């Protein structure tokens, strides 16, 4: 998290700030290290803004409270990197010229890389089978035609990235392109092209409670990552939900260190906290603070006794896959890696599966497979695809012993993990794994292959192969660290150690919600 | 004349007719029932029986299935099995107890035996509308397969099934899985876990398919389309077997549900005995009828709330007396009640009746084993009641419609219906419970005060007509389609192959583009469109609303759980109309007051508290129609009828509190604090020919109202009242022809149809912004009317009251003559004798204009002309009197 180019902008929904202790916000700051903090509009939240400014060292801004008197102001993020902040659509409507000039001010040191406007949002009218862009007319009037301007908004969830071409005259939607990450060209001089990127909270199982981190460089927004609010502060501790965290905060217990200083007997006084739960909180807080995993039971690791399992990971073309186009297998016995990839005929999912099965059943008939969250993803899709495309291998495939390390540790509760989330990369990172830094995630690699499917434009195979291999090796790293981890003790006498960046969450939604999650 | 309590000591012995016939005939009922008064109130109809028509089993079935069957197959069973054998989908639409279950049970057995002979498996997915029916049928099917000596495992898998291992085991091992459509909607998300079951599925059964109409029906239609997609993915190509009550359009309805052609089997081969049908309009209530006081008061707080004029003894009092009487005379009787509370109350009233007439009912113990039955009872208690009915230990049961759908309780001697159940198919389904084989049965319908009840009581032939209501299901609602599309993409990426198969290409592409722009879908049809929105879109499908906005119904804090109304979630449209804060609603016989409505939270709710008030509430509704666009039209004589789409602004702005007893308002115009509702929906409208309009304006020019707000000033009022009355009546009788809920329809009578139509678009291609409230919309309509260069048409609109539409107004468009015919009969035959009608004919308690103006005669004139009836007086001569343009019409409209 430390060595990086560019700058980092934290987009905070007011709900993530209000009613949470300053210490939790400080934990957010310490973990994510933003260069600037954007408290999302469009609602004016003066109290939340005051708290934000107090809790973060980095400069903070809140578009509805921009006081420059201008409808648009410039917000420096880092030397040479600026964004333009529009107070509201109404301000934009009143004086569109101000924005055009702010965006192309010749006296200014640089051109803003993006425009912030939280009023910009999409509106879906299912009855008409139409989605419109709120603010299209204002944007068309204010933004320069003939080029692409990035508009960042808390009005749509993080991950949203669509290129809207608007008629410069009226703001009428000419077309919308769905893969600006691959191709982001303007549509002509009579067109205002707006690349709308969402930074708002993403709806998950627990409602919409995430915050977003934008990686910015001089070319624009390089990435938007999301973090659950439960990754920070006390809620990062397994068993501490928002309610308990609030009650603890009332008793001035606001950090994990303070939690560890609170005796188990006292914790059991809180509603819904039993003795086991209190011990578990202590143990997990310790793991988070020390960065050392702990096993909770005497249960052996999956396949611990026999030959080490083969570490497997698959890449698909989406969450409802039509092809499993890359299957990577890492063999810890001889430190070898093997990838099965469909590079030629993406319309036929069978060859990759057949190659995997041929190799697996011929060369490693007795080996078990290991995955991270495979029961919900890898095995689930492999099972369905084998049954459908190489049915003659169904019985053998079903008889292969399959293990899921995530399932064993988290769902079955045999171990406590450090790491900000239970995503493999976070857990492996917290356990000292040095990633290959391919800059990819599951969603990106899926999108890249989907593009290949459609255009047959070759992708950077080596990079995508490295990404898959990295996950397989990271999995083995976690396995080894868990194998060597001691059992947690029942006392809370571990003194909290300095453990930079070692925050985590013990809770996970029941299911993979995006390819980026694992 | 009034026999009062004069005991008829003799003649009360059960008539010993031919063995097994109902022990009391319709005429004997009339003779023996104490205090029977006016012959004009009762009619007895004879319905002849039907001989069984059978086919030898071995002509249809393989020997191992044919031999163990104790009876030959009925002709319709054989016909359906033959169609399935030919690989056709079937819809079996025959009477209650005609052995429809046996058809799919045998088909399942046949499939399983054939598959096993090949060393393979065959599974079946059997879907019922209720969980209670699921459990009942699980037993029935298991028993049946046991009797055939077949090892076929039948398991229920629904919300009550234990999670974890039990579910896994059922998915992996059961031959037949029983569930419901809410379950299928959810389980499709995890289709890979169902791969074994789905890939071997040879039969999908949709039982009681006629229940899938309206909003619920279209959701079910889409769930079925999604299910078919996954079945195809796993290589299965099952047949569909639908079973339905007798409806008017079984083939059309079934095809709409499953999007495939369906062979209809509706020639009932099961035997039926002759039946007497007694239509019983309760006698007028004696003014000082002390004996009835306690019960009538109770009854009126119960179910008479809707009626302003209460003159006859309520059905809720009369029907239990008949139940008691029939049981006393040895007829095992089933009473159908409209609510749980009335089921309970009826049992008490039956025994009170016995006690109050102790001189007549000399032997108090005889036929006194009567119990209530409804879904509020525990499963064990219900099974106990079912069993005691079957074995004859019970003399009678008072039940909600829980016993209307297929639960096996054997056959009764007699049925009594407390009020007309609203639809002929339901009526027949219920009375089908009486009749042991070919023996004589007796059914009594006790009419309530409502429009439909009184219509049926005065037009008994209506029930005997061969037609039954059409069931309406429609998949054109884009809001519903779009939500199911998200689920489909989540289940399996959308691909080229879905164009045409799941939805027609243009619609599919537009919806995919809409969701991509909204960030919910990603990718292209050529290579697969994936779902990328919040997890489990299936969870946001409400099977009872068109938008995702459904309101959960909750009890206020601290209220005893036993008051939990257990209501299905409510669509927003319903909440605004009926569940505003302060509303008093009756649900299953219990009064509730709405104490809170949360519109804004992610999970909107309505909070209720049980109450016991002497009033009910009535919402006042303002409606206007804007931007209607005709998509189809046809001529009916000189009239033009249109079907199309448009925007309806509905504002349930105020409500009245109405005294339960007198029907008089206690407090009026209380604000609901509701926002107005704008819905894009389907509508149909009728344009009255100019000449007829002119003639009727002249004829009823003298009509005026004692109103002070100016509308009474025009000579058009009588004619406008005619349109208004005709609009109310056509909506009121629509349920006589179609399986629609009148409350899902709305209407607007207008002297200026043209000002409700979409105008030419302006030069910039944009339409004006939507008016923000009804007043603004009405102002717009008047403004358009003023600007019209030609004389506008007059007539009335009927629209679907649910966003996106339900297909109801389209069905009315297609069946307009039949609906109009019923409306004419209703208005003309009503004996209220008032120009402006009564609640039984043209008054509507939802009317936004306080039922003014209404003009029955003018309405009958319009409908007569429409139906081509010869009118007694020629109207045309009047018309010449009126100078064109000399009497410009005011833009009046009434909802």
Q: What is the DSSP string of B702-750?
A: T-----SSSGGG-TTHHHHHHHHHHHHHHHHHHHHHEE--GGGEEEEEE
Residue-wise pLDDT for B375-386, tens only, equals: 777 778 888 888
What percent of chain B is helix, strand and coil (3-state, nearest 5)?
40, 20, 40
Query: Burial code of B37-57, b = ≥16 C-beta within 10 A, e = fewer?
Result: eeeebbbbbebeeeeeebbeb
Q: What is the pLDDT along chain A (518 residues), one digit of tens a residue?
A: 444 568 999 999 998 888 788 889 999 999 899 999 999 989 999 999 999 999 999 999 999 987 667 788 888 888 778 899 998 888 888 887 877 777 766 555 568 899 999 999 999 888 789 999 999 999 999 999 999 999 999 999 999 999 999 999 999 999 999 989 888 999 989 999 999 999 999 987 666 678 999 999 888 898 898 898 888 888 888 888 888 888 888 888 889 989 999 998 889 888 888 888 898 889 889 998 888 999 988 899 998 888 999 999 999 988 888 899 999 999 999 999 999 999 999 889 999 999 999 999 999 988 999 999 999 899 999 998 998 899 899 899 999 999 999 999 988 989 999 987 888 998 999 999 998 888 888 888 998 898 898 888 888 999 999 999 999 999 999 999 999 998 887 544 433 333 333 333 333 333 333 343 33
Q: What is the pLDDT of residue A517?
A: 34
pLDDT higher than 60, residue B796: yes
Chosen domain end from B522, B540, B558: B540
**CB-CB under 8 Å, B804 with A513:** no
A-chain CB neighbours of B518 within 8 Å are 122, 124, 131
Domain's final residue, options B466, B494, B518: B466
Alpha-carbon gap: A492 to the closest alpha carbon of chain B (Å): 35
DSSP string, B452-475: HHHHHHH-THHHHSS--PEE----
Residues B138 and B84 in one domain: yes
In a domain, B685, yes or no: yes
Is residue B4 included in any domain, yes or no? no
Residue to mutate among B168, B532, B645, with most A CBs inside 10 A, is B532
Going along A79-144, which residue ranges are E strands? 81-86, 114-116, 121-125, 130-134
Q: Which long-range contacts (CB under 8 A, 24 or more apart) does B866-875 make?
A: B866/B636, B866/B637, B866/B639, B866/B686, B866/B817, B866/B820, B867/B817, B867/B820, B867/B821, B867/B824, B868/B637, B869/B824, B875/B691, B875/B692, B875/B695, B875/B696, B875/B699
- Alpha-carbon dihedral sign for residues A430, A433, A435, A440: negative
* Cβ <8 Å between A198 and B516: no
Q: State how far Cα B792 lies from the chain centre.
A: 36
Look up tokens 């008409």; give the residue. A128
When pLDDT is cut at 50, 70 and 90, the band that residue B761 belongs to is very low
Say whether both B676 and B787 belong to one domain. Answer: yes
Instruction: Give the pLDDT of residue B709.
Output: 54
A159:B535 CB<8 A: no
| Separation of alpha carbons B736 and B742, rounded Å | 10
> Which pLDDT belongs to residue B289?
42
Least confident interval from B199-203, B285-289, B373-377: B285-289
Q: Predicted ipTM?
A: 0.86
3-state SS, residue B751? coil
Helices (H), B403-519: 424-431, 451-458, 461-464, 478-491, 498-501, 505-517
Number of domain units in chain B:
5
Three-state secondary-structure class, residue B809: helix
Chain A nearest-CA residue for B515:
A131
Residues from chain A that touch B504, judged by Cβ atoms under 8 A, are none
- Whether residue B513 is predicted with pLDDT greater than 60 in this model: the reply is yes
Q: Mark which of B578, B613, B648 sits at the end of a domain.
A: B613
Mean pLDDT of B233-262: 93
> Average pLDDT of chain B?
83
CB-CB contact of B414 with B22 (8 Å): yes
CA of A334, closest CA in chain B: separation in Å? 34
Residue B528 has its nearest CB partner, among A122, A178, A322, at A322
Distances (CA, A) of A241 to A248, A268, A488, A513: 11, 15, 22, 20
DSSP characters for B65-127?
HHTT-SSPEEHHHHHHHHHHHTT--EEEE--TTS-HHHHHHHHHHHHHHHHHHTT---EEEEE
- Rounded Cα distance, A206 and A204, in Å: 5
> Does residue B12 lie in a domain region?
no
Q: State the smallest CA–CA distance between residue A385 and chain B in angstroms.
A: 10
The DSSP secondary structure of B840-877, one letter per residue, reads TTT--TT-TTTT-S--HHHHHHHHHHHHTPPPSS--HH
Judged on CB neighbours under 10 Å (0-12, 13-18, 19+), B862 is buried
Half-sphere exposure of A379 (CA within 13 A, CB side): 21
B587/B490 same-domain check: no
- For residue A467, the model assigns a pLDDT of 95
Instruction: Give the model's pLDDT for residue B875.
Output: 55
Residues 6+ apart with CB under 8 A from B497: none
- Percent of the residues in chain B that have a pLDDT greater than 70, as a whole number: 86
Q: Are residues B256 and B280 in the same domain?
A: no
Contact residues on chain A for B762, CB-CB shorter than 8 A: none
Please give the radius of gyration of chain B, using alpha carbons only, rounded to the nearest integer: 29
pLDDT score for B777: 75
Per the CB < 8 A criterion, the answer to whether B37 and B1 are in contact is yes
Instruction: Tell me which DSSP letter residue B575 carries.
Output: H
Give the pLDDT mean for B550-559. 84
**Which residues of B are less than 8 Å from A128 in CB distance?**
478, 680
CA A120 vs. chain centroid, Å, equals 23
DSSP state of B519: T
CB contact under 8 A, B534 and A128: no
Chain A positions touching B602 (Cβ under 8 A) are: 207
Same domain for B585 and B688, yes or no, is no
B318 with B336, same domain? yes
Hunting for tokens 């239609």 — which residue is that? B221
Structure tokens at A18: 């209000």
Residue B19 belongs to a domain:
no
* Domain presence at residue B14: no
Closest residue in chain A to residue B679, using alpha carbons only:
A127
Please report the pLDDT score of residue B278 as a whole number: 93
Do B250 and B357 sit in the same domain of this protein?
no
Pairing of strands B738-739, B470-471: parallel
Q: What is the mean pLDDT of residues B498-520?
A: 96
Query: What H or E segment, with its residue span, contains residue B278?
Result: strand B275-280
Residues B81 and B99 grouped into a single domain: yes
The per-residue pLDDT for B760 is 61
Q: Which of A15, A120, A124, A126 to mutate to test the interface with B (most CBs of B within 10 A)?
A: A126
Tokens of A55: 């809790």
Give B288-323 pLDDT, tens digit per residue. Answer: 343 343 333 333 334 443 443 446 788 888 999 999
Prediction pTM value: 0.81
Mean pLDDT of B13-36: 68
User: Do the Cβ atoms of B519 and A162 come within 8 Å?
Assistant: yes
Indicate if B499 and B523 belong to the same structural domain. Answer: yes
| Separation CA B431–CA B334 (nearest Å) | 9
What does each C-alpha distance from A272 to A232, A277, A366, B164 come to in angstroms? 21, 9, 46, 24
DSSP of A287-315, one letter per residue?
HHHH---EE-SSPPPTT-SSSPPEEEEEE
Tokens 């509704």, residue located:
B621
H or E element at residue A453: helix A442-455
Q: B847 pLDDT exceeds 90? A: no
A157 vs B492: CB contact, 8 Å cut-off? no
Helix or strand or coil: residue B22? Answer: coil
Q: Which tokens sit at A356?
A: 């995997």
Does residue B1 belong to any structural domain of this protein? no
Residue B75, pLDDT above cutoff 60 = yes
Taking the CA of residue B521 and the nearest CA in chain A, the distance in Å comes to 10
Q: Which domains does chain A have, with CATH numbers?
A: 7-229 (3.60.21), 310-488 (3.30.420.10)
Q: Give how far B620 is from chain A: nearest CA, Å.
A: 27
- Whether B259 is covered by a domain: the verdict is yes
pLDDT of residue B16: 37
- Which of A129, A137, A163, A175 would you mutate first to test chain B, the one with the most B CBs within 10 A? A129
Nearest to A126 among B234, B482, B535 (CB): B482
B322 and B256 in a common domain: no
Rounded Cα distance, A156 and A161, in Å: 10
- For residue A207, what pLDDT is reported? 62
Helix A461-484 vs helix A442-455: crossing angle, to nearest 10? 150
Query: So what's the pLDDT on residue B799?
Result: 94
Chain A interface with B: residues with Cβ < 8 Å:
122, 124, 126-131, 133, 156-157, 159-160, 162, 170, 172, 176, 178, 198, 202-205, 207, 317-322, 346, 380-381, 383-384, 387-388, 447, 450, 453-454, 509, 511, 513-514
B795 and B865 in contact (C-beta within 8 Å)? no
Contacts within 8 Å (CB) and 24+ apart, A302-306: A302/A368, A302/A370, A302/A403, A302/A404, A302/A405, A302/A408, A303/A368, A303/A370, A303/A401, A303/A403, A304/A483, A306/A368
Interface probe, candidates B514, B529, B627, chain A, greatest A C-beta count within 10 A: B514
> Which pair of tokens denotes residue B330?
């040895």
Q: Which residues pair with B625 in a beta bridge?
A: B648
Residue B451: name the closest of B886, B843, B45 by CA: B843
Consecutive H or E run containing A325: strand A324-331
Residue B5 placed within a domain: no
Q: For position A361, what pLDDT does the model report?
A: 94
B398 shares a domain with B254: no
Mutual orientation of helices A46-55 and A22-32 as an angle, nearest 10°?
Answer: 60
Q: Summarize pLDDT for A214-251 with one digit per residue, the tens.
A: 999 888 898 898 898 888 888 888 888 888 888 888 88
Q: What is the model's pLDDT at position A502? A: 35
Distance CA A364, CA A350 (A): 20
Q: Domain range spanning residue B508?
A: 478-540
CATH code, B163: 3.40.50.300
Q: Do B205 and B336 belong to one domain?
A: no
């Amino acid at each position: 998290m430390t060595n990086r180019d560019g700058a980092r902008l934290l987009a905070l929904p007011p709900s993530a700030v209000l009613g949470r202790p300053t210490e939790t916000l400080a934990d957010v700051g310490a973990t994510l290290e933003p260069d600037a903090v954007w408290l999302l509009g469009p609602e004016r939240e003066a109290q939340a803004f005051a708290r934000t400014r107090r809790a973060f060292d980095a400069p903070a801004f809140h578009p509805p409270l921009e006081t420059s008197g201008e409808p648009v102001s410039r917000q420096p993020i880092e030397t040479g990197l600026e964004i333009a902040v529009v107070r509201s659509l109404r301000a934009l409507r009143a004086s569109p010229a101000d924005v055009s000039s702010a965006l192309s001010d010749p006296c200014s040191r640089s051109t803003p890389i993006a425009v912030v406007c939280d009023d910009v949002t999409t509106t879906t009218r299912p009855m008409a089978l139409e989605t419109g862009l709120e603010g299209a007319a204002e944007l068309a009037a204010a933004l320069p035609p003939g080029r692409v301007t990035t508009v960042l908004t808390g009005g749509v969830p993080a991950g949203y990235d669509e290129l809207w071409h608007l008629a410069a005259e009226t703001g009428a939607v000419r077309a919308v392109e769905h893969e600006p990450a691959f191709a982001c060209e303007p549509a002509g001089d009579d067109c205002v092209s707006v690349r709308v990127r969402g930074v708002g909270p993403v709806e998950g199982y627990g409602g919409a409670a995430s915050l977003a981190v934008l990686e910015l460089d001089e070319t624009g927004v390089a990435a938007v990552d999301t973090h659950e609010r439960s990754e920070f502060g006390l809620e990062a501790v397994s068993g501490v939900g928002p309610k308990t965290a609030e009650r603890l905060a009332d008793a001035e217990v606001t950090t994990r260190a303070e939690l560890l200083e609170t005796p188990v007997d006292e914790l059991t006084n809180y509603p819904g906290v039993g003795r086991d739960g209190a011990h578990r909180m202590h143990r997990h807080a310790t793991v988070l603070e020390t960065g050392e995993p702990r096993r909770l039971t005497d249960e052996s690791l999956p396949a611990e006794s026999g030959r080490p399992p083969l570490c497997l990971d698959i890449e698909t073309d989406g969450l409802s896959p039509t092809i499993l186009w890359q299957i990577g297998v890492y063999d810890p016995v001889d430190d070898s890696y093997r990838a099965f990839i469909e590079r030629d005929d993406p319309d036929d999912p069978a060859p990759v599966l057949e190659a995997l099965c041929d190799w697996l059943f011929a060369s490693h008939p007795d080996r078990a497979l290991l995955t991270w969250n495979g029961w919900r993803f890898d095995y689930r899709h492999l099972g369905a695809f084998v049954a459908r495309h190489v049915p003659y291998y169904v019985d053998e495939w079903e008889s292969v012993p399959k293990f899921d390390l995530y399932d064993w540790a988290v769902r079955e509760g045999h171990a406590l993990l450090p790491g900000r989330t239970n995503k493999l990369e976070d857990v492996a990172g917290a356990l000292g794994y040095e990633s290959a830094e391919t800059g990819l995630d599951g969603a990106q690699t899926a999108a890249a292959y989907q593009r290949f499917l459609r255009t047959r434009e070759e992708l950077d195979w080596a990079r995508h192969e490295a990404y898959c291999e990295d996950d397989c090796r990271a999995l083995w790293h976690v396995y080894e660290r868990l194998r060597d981890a001691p059992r947690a003790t029942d006392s809370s006498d571990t003194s909290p150690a300095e453990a930079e960046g070692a925050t985590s969450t013990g809770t996970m939604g029941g299911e993979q919600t995006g390819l980026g999650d694992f | 004349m009034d026999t009062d309590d004069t005991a008829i000591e003799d003649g009360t012995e059960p008539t010993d007719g031919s063995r097994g016939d109902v022990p009391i005939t319709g005429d004997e009922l009339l003779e023996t029932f104490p205090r029977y008064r006016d012959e004009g109130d009762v009619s007895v109809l004879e319905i002849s029986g039907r001989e069984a028509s059978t086919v030898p089993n071995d002509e249809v079935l393989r020997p191992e299935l044919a031999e163990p069957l104790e009876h030959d197959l009925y002709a319709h069973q054989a016909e359906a099995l033959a169609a399935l054998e030919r690989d056709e989908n079937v819809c079996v639409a025959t009477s209650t107890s005609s052995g429809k279950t046996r058809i799919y049970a045998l088909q399942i057995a046949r499939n399983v035996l054939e598959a096993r002979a090949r060393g393979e498996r065959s599974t079946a997915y059997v879907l019922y509308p209720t969980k209670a029916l699921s459990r009942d049928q699980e037993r029935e099917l298991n028993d049946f397969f046991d009797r055939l000596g077949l090892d076929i495992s039948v398991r229920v898998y629904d919300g009550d099934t234990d999670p974890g291992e039990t579910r896994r085991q059922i998915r992996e091992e059961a031959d037949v899985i029983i569930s419901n459509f809410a379950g299928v909607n959810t389980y499709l998300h995890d289709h890979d876990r169902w791969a074994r079951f789905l890939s071997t599925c040879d039969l999908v059964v949709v039982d009681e398919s006629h229940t899938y109409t309206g909003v619920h029906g279209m959701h079910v239609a889409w769930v079925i389309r999604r299910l078919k997609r996954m079945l195809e993915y796993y290589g299965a190509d099952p047949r569909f077997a639908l079973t339905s009550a007798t409806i008017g359009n079984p083939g059309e309805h079934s095809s709409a549900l499953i999007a495939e052609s369906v062979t209809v089997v509706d020639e009932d081969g099961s035997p039926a005995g002759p039946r007497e049908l007694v239509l019983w309009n309760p006698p007028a209530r004696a003014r000082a009828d002390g004996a009835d006081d306690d019960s009538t008061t109770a009854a009126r707080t119960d179910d008479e709330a809707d009626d302003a004029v209460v003159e006859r003894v309520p059905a809720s009092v009369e029907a239990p007396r008949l139940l008691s009487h029939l049981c006393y005379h040895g007829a095992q009787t089933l009473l159908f009640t409209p609510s749980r509370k009335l089921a309970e109350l009826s049992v008490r009233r039956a025994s009170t009746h016995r006690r109050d007439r102790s001189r007549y009912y000399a032997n108090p113990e005889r036929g006194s084993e009567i119990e209530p039955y409804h879904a509020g009872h525990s499963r064990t208690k219900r099974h106990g009641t079912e069993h005691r009915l079957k074995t004859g230990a019970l003399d009678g049961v008072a039940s909600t419609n829980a016993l209307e759908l297929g639960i096996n309780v054997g056959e009764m001697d007699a049925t009594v219906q407390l009020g007309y159940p609203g639809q002929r198919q339901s009526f027949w389904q219920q009375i089908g419970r009486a009749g042991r084989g070919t023996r004589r049965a007796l059914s009594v319908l006790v009419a309530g005060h409502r429009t439909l009840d009184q219509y049926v009581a005065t037009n008994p032939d209506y029930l005997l007509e061969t037609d039954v209501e059409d069931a309406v299901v429609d998949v054109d609602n884009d809001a519903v389609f779009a939500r199911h599309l998200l689920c489909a993409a989540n289940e399996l990426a959308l691909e080229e192959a879905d164009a045409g198969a799941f939805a027609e290409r243009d619609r599919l592409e537009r919806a995919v583009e809409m969701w991509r722009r909204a960030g919910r879908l990603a990718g292209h049809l050529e290579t697969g469109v994936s779902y990328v929105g919040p997890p489990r879109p299936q969870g946001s499908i409400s099977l009872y609303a068109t938008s995702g906005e459904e309101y959960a119904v909750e009890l206020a804090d601290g209220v005893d759980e036993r008051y939990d109304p257990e209501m299905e979630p409510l669509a927003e449209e319903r909440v605004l109309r009926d569940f505003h804060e302060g509303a008093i609603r009756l649900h299953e016989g219990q009064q509730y007051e709405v104490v809170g409505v949360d519109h804004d939270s992610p999970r909107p709710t309505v909070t209720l508290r049980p109450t016991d008030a002497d009033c009910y509430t009535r919402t006042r509704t303002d409606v206007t129609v804007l931007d209607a666009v005709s998509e189809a039209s046809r001529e009916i004589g000189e009239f033009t009828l249109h079907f199309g789409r448009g925007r309806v602004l509905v504002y349930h702005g105020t409500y009245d509190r109405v005294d339960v007893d007198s029907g008089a308002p206690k407090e009026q115009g209380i604000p609901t604090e509701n926002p107005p509702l704008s819905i894009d929906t389907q509508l149909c409208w009728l344009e009255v020919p100019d000449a007829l309009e002119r003639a009727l304006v002249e004829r009823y020019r003298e009509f005026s109202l004692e109103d002070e707000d100016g509308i009474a000033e025009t000579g058009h009022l009588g004619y406008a009242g005619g349109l208004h009355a005709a609009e109310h009546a056509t909506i009121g009788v629509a349920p006589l022809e179609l399986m629609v809920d009148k409350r899902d329809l709305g209407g607007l009578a207008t002297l200026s149809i043209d000002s409700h139509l979409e105008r030419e678009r302006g030069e910039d291609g944009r339409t004006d912004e939507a008016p923000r409230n009804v007043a603004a919309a009405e102002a717009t309509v008047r403004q358009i009317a003023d600007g019209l260069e030609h004389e506008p048409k007059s007539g009335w609109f009927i629209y679907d009251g649910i966003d996106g539409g339900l297909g109801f107004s389209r069905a009315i468009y297609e069946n307009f003559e039949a609906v109009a015919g019923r409306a004419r009969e209703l208005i003309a035959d009503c004996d209220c004798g008032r120009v402006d009608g009564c609640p039984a004919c043209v008054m509507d308690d939802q009317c936004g204009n306080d039922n003014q103006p209404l003009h029955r005669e003018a309405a009958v004139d319009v409908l007569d002309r429409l139906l081509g009836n010869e009118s007694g007086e020629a109207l045309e001569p009047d018309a010449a009197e009126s100078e064109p343009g000399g009497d410009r019409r005011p833009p009046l409209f009434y909802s």
